[in-house]
Structure 1
Amino acid sequence: MQFAVAKRLTALALVAAALGAQAAPSTVPHFAPVGDHFELDGKPFVIRSGEVHYARVPREFWRERLQQMRAMGLNTVTTYVFWNRHEPEPGRFDFSGDLDLAAFIRTARDVGLKVVLRPGPYVCAELDFGGFPAWLLRTPGLRVRSLDPRFMSASARYLKRVAQEVAPLLSSRGGPILMVQVENEYGSYGDDRDYMAAMLAQFREAGFDLPLFTSDGPSPSLLERGTLPGVTSVVNFNGNVDAVKRAFAQFASFRQNAPRMSGEYWAGWFDSWGSRHAKVSPAMAGEAVDYMLGQGISFNLYMAHGGTSFGWMPGANSNGTNYTPDTTSYDYDAAIDEAGRPTRKFHAIRAAIARHLPAGEKLPDLPAPTPTISVPRFSLIESVPLVDTLQSPIRSKMARNMEAYGQGYGFILYRKRFEEAAKGKLELGEARDYIHVMADGATVATVDRRRSESSADVSLKAGSTLDLLVENMGRVNFGASLPDERKGLMDQPSLGGKELNDWEVYPLPLADLSGLRFKRGAPERSGPTFWRGKFRVEAKGSTFLDMRGMGKGHVWVNGHHLGRYWRVGPQQSLFVPAPWLRAGGDNEIIILDLDGAPDAPSLQGLPDPVFTTSG
């Protein structure tokens, strides 16, 4: 759908206005595309990049990961900027701690890496809502990735703030940021040329006065839809050397006398719940890198180090019918694994790069990674049922979606009280995404969006309470379904054909667990339960919590939300970074197990992750 905008300019006019900001300087630019190659300080430069997302890696690990990438032979790091993390509420920005973008870029510069920046505003990245902040969905009818003026105003504010953070680090000022990406794979989403032109104008108006580029799949149809005249274009793909050749043959049929670069060479892949654990051949990745360097082709390994989608960060995919949420781990089968350890793929790629180093360049030594440790098995000895933690409800005639109540992430509970007995099929319509149907606090059924489920049989006694605990499993981050990914109940529930109204609604963002009141021992009733325990760590190191004895839920350690676990796999452990553990002291762990967990749950920490091999 197109939105009318006052005095709407044509795509060509907007592009011309944006490119006007690139008037040729009187001196050689620090970095620039020149004909069929890139130049750095006037000399040909091949970008050897790897991707890592600083928001998926604790700040204490940044230097170590970047040094590892440099030792692999890379000369550049590429990173997305996650809008949803930096502007959690409209106008309230956060660039501190693990979100200190400028500090990450300065660290990259200090270890000898240039930077390619990808601020979106759409990033995909297997991230909730493709990186868009959930608060955009509070406005009925707002359309992301469109000329909707409400979206364009928000994106302009965000891009301006990002530009302010990194201004001294742009290559136009002699800094390490070589170039910046406009939007992301738009050719796979739409064909609104005016929108892409408006995006380009926003980047220029924000202050990004350095080379810009777009990134799309290599087919001419995708490039036709996603590129901009006069703006560098790079292509994304995976596969062996033949696949590389095909991709750049396609690119050559679309654009000539332009730098050749794989903006994303998918050297691994992500996992979805209930699927097979993804693996990509180390030899194939090494051979592809070897070929690209032999042809003078720049590349970016997606991912060089994946890290972790902590908390509520994971996204999902959907083709409009099937919904597949992504796992907490973003290991991505990358060259550097989730715990920061070089893999066989790392060494295959390092060897390939070593064969093509410019004269006088030597690979740095590989730094020792932070160790991983075991944690002896420990018990969780305190508990409290989730239904006993509820505070004051919002009274609502109709059951509405999560965003309508001002909530972005977590769970939401809809409660209906029955004066008379009721029995029949509970119809939920489209419920997003995983629902525990509870009668008087005990789970009687589950409804899973992954399986296209929408109903359950229930039988309620007079005076019973029906609770619908709905879990946001991650908003769709790619494709046509993305703009409408609100969560919770989309339709009015009915029981036995009769619409249910008059709800008590409890938003449960679970951002602060300090108010939970635990009691020793297991709860008297079954159903979703919080458990708490302590464990000691004597040595410094990261660990993987073995979750194979639990069902489905979330884990917090020392206040850090590690993310989701689920017995369906393939992920069966949760990464705990060393900086979040207290060596030589007690560590607090809280688990919300939606299945209630065994009477005496216990966990242990392992030095390596656990994945099942099939879904």
Structure 2
Amino acid sequence: MRTTMLRERQKKRLYLLAAAVAVIVWYYYFYGYPWSGPDARSDNLNVIDPLEDDVEGLTFTKRQFFLNTKPFRILSGAMHYFRVPSEYWQDRMMKMKACGLNTLETYVSWNLHEPVPGKFNFTGMLNLRKYLELAHSEGLYVILRPGPYICSEWDFGGMPSWLLADQKMKVRSNYQGYQEAITRFFGYLLPQVTDLQFKRGGPIIAVQVENEFGSFSTEVNHLMFIKGLLRLHGIKELLVTSDGSEGLVRAPFYQDALPTVNFKDTEQGRTGFEVIKQENPDFPLMVMEFWTGWFDHWGQPHNTDDLSVYAERVATILDSGASINFYMFHGGTNFGFMAGANEFSHYKADVTSYDYDAPLTEAGDITEKYMKTRELILEKIYKPLGILQLPVVPANVPRVEYAKLRMAEMMTWKDLTSHIMKTGHSERPMPMEMYKFDSGLGQSYGYIIYRKQIGSGNWLELPGKVRDRAQVLLNTWSVTTFDSDSKKLEVQMHASQPNNLLEIVVENLGRVNFINHKAPDPDILNKQRKGLDGDVKIDGKFVTDWNALALDFDQEFLYKISRASEWKSFIPQKNSPTLYRAQMVIAGTPADTFLNMKDWKKGIVIVNGMNLGRYWEIGPQRTLYIPAPFLKSGMNEFLIFEEHASGEYLYFQKEPQLG
């Protein structure tokens, strides 16, 4: 009898243990392992935060926003963490507060966060969570615009170039390959920020669904897909869209997200506001992007605004009762190869600086536009509430003019390219995204080299359209250069020797970041593959069997060439791409400075492993911004990749020269 009872007890214990295990497995399956990283924290999207029952987020009625049931007006400034050194985030936020702003708006750069499919980077300047937490500590609310498409004069509108390895890719649509990529990215991104929503005690008060979608497409189902992912991963704050007036009408999403309008001109604003007013009497008016200035293209004039016209536009918006986001409040810099481009009548690449003629300069300086903005906000918003002064404006970050620096060493084109590890092969040249280099992936940024050993030959003919600039080298010396506007891609090479090395070096100057439905080719985003695509001919005969080399100056490559043995004493070079090096010793604490590339033609500058971006003699930009955090006390390494003809010195100055 006792044995039977013991067996029954053992069975019950086993049943209870099995049930407990089942519950634990079920819990971890749905709620995630708290020790297994940011995708599975204990504050997973399914966990109800006690704050959510007590806190009401951003709502609206009768044209009025409310935050936790109290009337609220959004006074926001755009600043993108990925364009500003993390050491300067707080300085810029404090200047926002001193201008009277209560909110910070930021995009999220998918291409930087997921440079390789399934491999993510949220460190350093990409530490989005740290950025949002800092905004919270500085007393700023946040409007989060996670894309996945952001435009923003950023390469490919923030979408990763590896999407284009799929020849059937249809970005910004419900194409399955695109949906799968977004699902993976949002599945990693959103769980990192859900607990930073206002309803859970954080700063995020609103989240945008895609960006200016109606200007591009009428496929509203894609917006529904994006919304579904946001809600699935725990985004519970107010959803918004932003667009011009026509876009708001072409892709109405009013039942699912609050419409906001983007504009610069006052009349454009009135038109956009009328669209919103007619749709719903409760919708509050908001300018999601009031364009405080404009961006620049290489070879075009520098854009600036008349201060009085700017002030009149701001005053009109504030007098209307609308909420406002100043885009940009602080633009920052398109470091590296991240500048985007436009292509309507022809291709135009964006410059490195994203100064934007914004209230804060590229280096974070206070401007007349900043002081006028501050004055208007104080007079029209705060004084009627009895608030007579704003916080003291922080001082500008100090800058220095370092002594000019002479080049010390050089590495020839032949030696430089000998260190390239990412190589591929094809019968005819293909776009950089289509190769399977040593990593198994295509190339995203920089220069692609098409290399072929040839016999004697005279006339070289390239295929189709160059994307975006091709330099033809014969035995390492430059023969000619073609760009995206070149109509006739032919050149006389004079290859008289029996054995010659032909190299066609094509630079990706930036993928198009914006297109609308009225463009000559509305499908141009899906055609942003860079390099050459098609048959090359010499004297009318097809040339096959090409080697391709990816010169993208990634961190592994920079580490390798910095320690290479092929460096020679500096001699100025002409008509052959060359890498130059100089070292500068800084005594004490480094300070911000601007690098003037006068006497140089075209290329990139890398300081201590950080790619500052492009310089180009055609302007308008003449200087590159070097933030102090990119420098260090002691020895600093400067690498200059010059495509054509070198200068001898690097010149430093305190003030920018943007055109």
Report the CA distance shift for 1:453/1:218 in structure 2 as closer, same or farther (over 3 A). farther
Matched ranges for 1:148-227 at <5 A:
148-219=175-246, 222-225=248-251, 227=253
Matched ranges for 1:74-473 at <5 A:
74-219=101-246, 222-225=248-251, 227-240=253-266, 242-319=267-344, 321-355=345-379, 356-357=381-382, 359-361=385-387, 362-391=389-418, 393-405=423-435, 406-419=442-455, 421-451=456-486, 454-461=489-496, 462-473=498-509
Q: Counterpart of 1:365 in 2: which secondary structure?
A: coil
* 1:435 aligned partner, one-letter code: A
Kindly indicate whether the alpha-carbon contact (under 8 Å) linking 1:431 and 1:491 is maintained by their aligned counterparts in 2. no
Q: Counterpart of 1:575 in 2: which secondary structure?
A: strand
Question: How far apart are residue 425 of structure 1 and its match?
Answer: 4.2
CA distance in 2, matches of 1:376, 1:304: 32
> TM-score normalised to the size of structure 2?
0.85
Give the counterpart of 1:597 among 637, 646, 658: 646
Q: Counterpart of 2:449 in 1: which secondary structure?
A: strand
Question: How far apart are residue 177 of structure 1 and its match?
Answer: 0.4
Q: Which residue of 2 aligns with 1:16?
A: none
Kindly indicate whether the alpha-carbon contact (under 8 Å) linking 1:183 and 1:214 is maintained by their aligned counterparts in 2. yes
Q: State which drifts further: 490-499 or 546-555.
A: 490-499
- What do the CA deviations read for 1:102-125 (whole angstroms, capped 9, x no partner)? 111111111111100000000000
* 2:352 aligned partner, one-letter code: T
Q: Which residue of 2 aligns with 1:528?
A: 577
Q: Which residue of 1 aligns with 2:605?
A: 555
Kindly indicate whether the alpha-carbon contact (under 8 Å) linking 1:30 and 1:174 is maintained by their aligned counterparts in 2. no
CA distance in 2, matches of 1:428, 1:142: 23
Question: How far apart are residue 291 of structure 1 and its match?
Answer: 2.3
CA distance in 2, matches of 1:602, 1:79: 38
Percent identical = 37
- What do the CA deviations read for 1:411-455 (whole angstroms, capped 9, x no partner)? 110111112x11124233222111110110000100111555634
- What do the CA deviations read for 1:42-68 (whole angstroms, capped 9, x no partner)? 111110001000000000000000001
Report the CA distance shift for 1:226/1:337 in structure 2 as closer, same or farther (over 3 A). farther
Aligned length: 582
Question: How far apart are residue 524 of structure 1 and its match?
Answer: 7.3
* 2:221 aligned partner, one-letter code: D
- What do the CA deviations read for 1:211-239 (whole angstroms, capped 9, x no partner)? 101111023x5433253424201000002
Q: Counterpart of 1:513 in 2: which secondary structure?
A: helix
CA distance in 2, matches of 1:138, 1:70: 44
Question: How far apart are residue 283 of structure 1 and its match?
Answer: 2.5
* 1:551 aligned partner, one-letter code: K
Q: Counterpart of 2:290 in 1: which secondary structure?
A: strand
Kindly indicate whether the alpha-carbon contact (under 8 Å) linking 2:276 and 2:283 is maintained by their aligned counterparts in 1. no
Report the CA distance shift for 1:92/1:226 in structure 2 as closer, same or farther (over 3 A). farther
Structure 1 unaligned spans of 5+: 1-20
Kindly indicate whether the alpha-carbon contact (under 8 Å) linking 2:416 and 2:579 is maintained by their aligned counterparts in 1. no
* 1:224 aligned partner, one-letter code: R
- What do the CA deviations read for 1:327-380 (whole angstroms, capped 9, x no partner)? 010000110001110111001100000012162544111111211210111111
Report the CA distance shift for 1:534/1:174 in structure 2 as closer, same or farther (over 3 A). same
CA distance in 2, matches of 1:523, 1:385: 11
Q: Counterpart of 2:330 in 1: which secondary structure?
A: coil
Question: How far apart are residue 407 of structure 1 and its match?
Answer: 1.1
> TM-score normalised to the size of structure 1?
0.91
Q: Which residue of 2 aligns with 1:503?
A: 546
Report the CA distance shift for 1:119/1:226 in structure 2 as closer, same or farther (over 3 A). farther
Q: Counterpart of 2:298 in 1: which secondary structure?
A: coil
Question: How far apart are residue 523 of structure 1 and its match?
Answer: 6.8
CA distance in 1, matches of 2:609, 2:54: 52
Report the CA distance shift for 1:548/1:524 in structure 2 as closer, same or farther (over 3 A). closer
Question: Are residues 1:483 and 2:526 paired?
Answer: yes
- What do the CA deviations read for 1:524-574 (whole angstroms, capped 9, x no partner)? 774000000022334532111001211000000111100000001000110
Kindly indicate whether the alpha-carbon contact (under 8 Å) linking 2:171 and 2:526 is maintained by their aligned counterparts in 1. yes
Q: Which residue of 1 aligns with 2:655?
A: 608
* 1:596 aligned partner, one-letter code: A
